[in-house]
Structures are given as C-alpha cells and as structure tokens.
Structure 1
C-alpha cells in the first residue's frame, strides 16, 4: 500500500484514459486508483508483470496489469494493457495516478508540522507538511525534512542532511551531508529511450542506528528499504532501493549495497565492499575490505577477494598463484 503521508493519489482513472493509444484487453472502463507489485496488487491497483516463461499470474485481482503476455496468463485481472516492455510502460503510466507530496512554497517550517518538547533546530532548517519530530531531537543547520517524515526522540541529525519519504527511530545519529529517501537507480527502456521507474516506497531507519557523513539510502520501488536497530554505517556508504539491512550490522566506509539485497543480523562489511543486487548476506558473516560479492554468502562465513569467495579458498588460490609466478620467474632467469 502506498503511504499517504508521502504520496497523493491523483485518480481514479479509467484504463483507457491511462493508456489511450495502447491495446487493451478486458474492461477498458475499469477504474484504477493505485499501484502495487504484481503479487500484491488489489482490485483498484495498476501493476506490471513480466513472466518467466509462461508462468501465469493466477493470484492477482488487479484492476489493470501491464503485460506482454496473453490474457489467459492473468485471468483475474480487470483489464490488461498489452506492451512489449511492461516495466517501461508502467514507468510512463504510474505518474498519472500517484504523485509525491511537495513542500509548501515560501514556507520554511510548515504550520502542520508537529514538534514535540525540546526539539532544537539549526539555522535554515526546512520542515515539510505533517512532518513529526520527537522530543529532544536535534536538527542541524540547513537540513531539509520532507513532508510526512517522522523522526524519533533524541535523534540527532547533522547539517545539510536531506530526509524524505522516511521514518526514523529513536536515538539515531545521522551525520552531515547524508541523503535518505531519494529515488534509487531504477531505469527501464523502450523505443522512446530510458525512463526512470517511479519509487513509491519508504526508508525505515530503526532505533539507535548511526549513519555517517555523506551516505545515501534510497527508498524502495514498492517495498521499504530498512536499516535495523543498532546498525553502524561509516561515511560515504550507499544502500540502494529495497535493501534489508539487519540489526547490529557494521559497514565500513565506501561500502556499496546494490538493490534488493538482504544483509543478516550482525554481519560486517569492510571498507570498499561492493555487493551485487538481489544477494543474501548471512547473519554473522564478514566481508573483507574491497571484496566484490557476486554470490550469496552463508551465515557466519568470512569471504574476501574479487570476486569474493570463502577466505580459505581465496588464500589457497593466492598462494598457488604466487608459487606459479615465482616458478615462472626462476625459469626465466
């Protein structure tokens, strides 16, 4: 469900009005008012579906599904918009239904914002409509808090921070220059060129999280990007859309986590670690500095290398290569 604190519905609209030039199957006058992923779309939602093989979408009662497949693969949909590029068609269509809430012009602190006792604001702070800031929180100079954002009690936020589409817990520390809740790098393409996929999710930062200076945490496409309790993130790290970071995770500087990755509780990421998208990093695992992680990492294991692999395997291979190199040098002398 789209969070109304951050997004406003522009519909309902008929399927025909959404896609006036498209080939439509089913009820072209069906009303659509929201958007959701295909597996959770309800009877008033728009979604897109790109089947793997001929897998049917039998469980979705969506008002409208954008798909390249035939109607028998989505029998419960009210209507279909047929497209060779469902994701890009969704990206071009969804903004007609849902719009991000914007700041009130020429107002630094919106009168509808709720500030509890003891909140301290630095010079030049901007706070959007219906934002909520808990007791004892500190907001640094020139920080921007977007509409609907909630910040917990005693949380401290540095200067020049931007927070949007986010819910922040109690006793957090967010250092200067960090950006939370902006759109991630989701791009679809068709004959008209690339188009940004709308991000309609949120960022959830749980209690007692530390996020260093100049970090970025992107909001999800539909689901939330979540950082769990007591996690500590160093400066200059990036967490992409839809990621789930567990409790007590340690992430050193320059770490980059690609979209839809899940990091288990208590994992440790060394400096400059890079993780590919849709990976699972097991609880209690360790990724050594500068590792490039292309595979899932089991719980409790230590991996390193480029590409990363279990540390014992990496060290054995490195030793073998060193012996071979030394032998080749000696043979050439």
Structure 2
C-alpha cells in the first residue's frame, strides 16, 4: 500500500467495476474487492497487479494478489482463487487502475510554522511553503522559496538550499541539499496503449539517510512503487540524475552530470566520474568505480574499475584503445609519406 502520508487511498471497487473503468474484460472473480495496486511480488489479497512481460511468469505463479490484469494468452497461468481481468495492454490498464485507486496528496493548504517545526531553532527563510503534515527537525535551515510537500519529513541539523522542491520524501539528520534540487518528482515510466503512451503513476518515495549531500539542480525521482534510497553519507554533485527505484549504498561518490537509470543498485563506496551513465536494472558491487564518461550497460563486480562506452574493465579498455591506435597510426604515416 502506498504511504498514506503522500497518497490518498480512494474507495475500493469490485473487479467487475474496475474492468469497466480500465477497459478490460473480467474472466473470473468479478466480485473480488480491490482497494490498491501493487507489483506481482508484493501484492496482497486486496490489490490488483499485472503481467507486462513473460519474464515475470514465475512471479505470476506465486502472486498473492486478489486480482491480476493479464493478456488473454496468460489466463491459464494465473493461480486458482485470483480474479482475472484480460487486456491487450495490461500495463496501461494497471496504470489506469492506479489512478482510480490512489491519488497523490497535493499542496492545497500550507502548514503553519508551529505545526511543522520541532522548535524555534528551525530557520525558515522568506518564501518557504510547507505542506500539511510535513515535519522539520530542530537546527534545520530551509532556504528561500523552497517548497516542502505534504507529509515530507526532514531530520535535525539539515541545510536545505533555496528554490528546492521536496515531495514524497523522508530525510534523515545532517543532510545538505543545495539550491534548485528536485527531490521526489515522478520517475519516468510509460506504457504503450492504442491511444498512445500512458504515464504510469509513481507511488513510491525517496528516502535520504543521514549525512547525505545532494548538489545543486540534481534530480532524484521517487520510486515507481518501492522506494528510491540514498544511503548514509553519500555525496552527490551538481546536475546529477537518479532514476526511480535506485538504491545507493553508503559513502557513494557521484561527480557532476552523472546519471542512473531506473532500478539501479549501487553498493557501498562506489565512485562515479563526471558524466558517467548507467543503464536500467544494473547492479554495481561494493567499492567499484566508473571512470568519467563511462557508459555502463552490464553489472560491475565489487572492487572493479570500468571505463569507456560501453564500459568494460579498465585494463581491457586500455588494451583495446592501444590496439585501435596502432591500427590507425600506420595508415596516417602512409598518407603522410605519399604526400
């Protein structure tokens, strides 16, 4: 179930009523009550999930969901006792169900200083806006024109810069977030449908642990359903991008213009050089490093240094670079001698 501090749960529906809204067809279990959405692996009896790719067939076979949305060809794979809705665009249908069952809380009214701040040691510079249910720990300073969304929790002795937006976020103690950062915006997710691409609601959170630094104009997206997590004492430079569902360990260092696609897992003590990029669903082991400009498209074992595009172990990259340069050099010399 999405965090109720950030998302309102709307009235439940039967599977039949939900199918009418999302454009699906009920195969069985039309009277099943559906109150939430969830992935196959974490859904409970009150949730609806979906099968968008055959690689998740094992998760479908073991799901505890009350209802699933699947292509017609996958109906027989659904466990007994689970309601079934068929759709030719299962993920898009699930996205429509998300919109019907959950609604993000909006900043309809500002909270007072007394309600939001732990004590008088909190400093709010001019123009700060605080949503209902937000909390700010003692000794924290919030910069001018920063917007703190409903339900956001900020720990003690933090320094939040000016023009920052914080939403769907839980922040630990001694965190620094510099000017212009955007934390908790919706991650990039879309599903194909007959009417075109459909935005997939992002129902997760951002969790920033103690001692983290987030640079100016950096963006950290909230999770699609699970959380985006930034581990203790991690340091992120300016103009970085961290996609939804990424999990960074402790003491990670990320230089400017680096970017992580969705669902990347980064171990403790990993380092990224400037403009390093990582593809989605990649795992980078503890103590590894990605050189500046590296483009990572495969898992990196712990302790290894990778470079290049596509990135590969540093020694291999250097050997290949030397080999290529040797192939090119003779051709250049031949042309010069002919001239």
TM-score after normalising by structure 2: 0.94
C-alpha distance in 1 between matches for 2:290 and 2:75: 46
**1:150 to 2:153 alignment:** yes
Alignment equivalent of 2:270, drawn from 262, 267, 271: 267
Quick check: 1:281–1:299 contact (8 Å CA) kept in 2?
yes
Matched residue SS, 1:247: coil
Task: Tell me by how many angstroms 1:54 deviates.
Answer: 8.9
Alpha-carbon distance, 1:102 to partner:
1.2
TM-score, with length taken from structure 1: 0.96
Matches within 5 A, 1:288-327: 288-327=291-330
CA distance in 1, matches of 2:53, 2:83: 17
What does 1:68-79 align with in structure 2 at a 5 Å threshold? 68=71, 69-79=73-83
Equivalent residue in structure 2 for 1:179, among 156, 174, 182: 182
Query: 1:123-158 CA deviation, whole Å, 9 max, x = no partner?
Result: 111111111111111110110101111000001100
Kept after mapping to 1: 8 A contact 2:51/2:57: no
Indicate whether 1:29 and 2:31 are aligned: yes
Looking at secondary structure, tell me which structure has more helix per residue: 2
**Which residue, out of 85, 89, 105, partners 1:85?**
89
CA displacement 1:29-65 (0-9 Å, x = unmatched): 2111111111111010011113526935232231211
CA contact (8 A) 2:40 2:64 kept: no
SS in 1 for 2:62: coil
Give a deviation string over 1:251-291, Cα, whole Å, max 9, x none: 00000000000011000000000100000111101111001
Q: 230-239 vs 72-81, which deviates more?
A: 72-81
| 1:203-242 superposed matches below 5 A | 203-242=206-245
Distance 1:152 1:30, change over 3 A: same
Q: Give, in whole Å, the separation in 1 of the partners of 2:328 and 2:118.
A: 66
- 2:145 matches 1:125: no
Task: Give the distance between the partners of 2:281 and 2:261, measured in 1 at CA.
Answer: 7
What's the counterpart of residue 46 of structure 2? 44
Q: Is 1:6 the equivalent of 2:6?
A: yes
Helix, strand or coil: the match of 1:81? Answer: strand
| CA contact 2:116–2:130 (8 Å) conserved in 1 | no
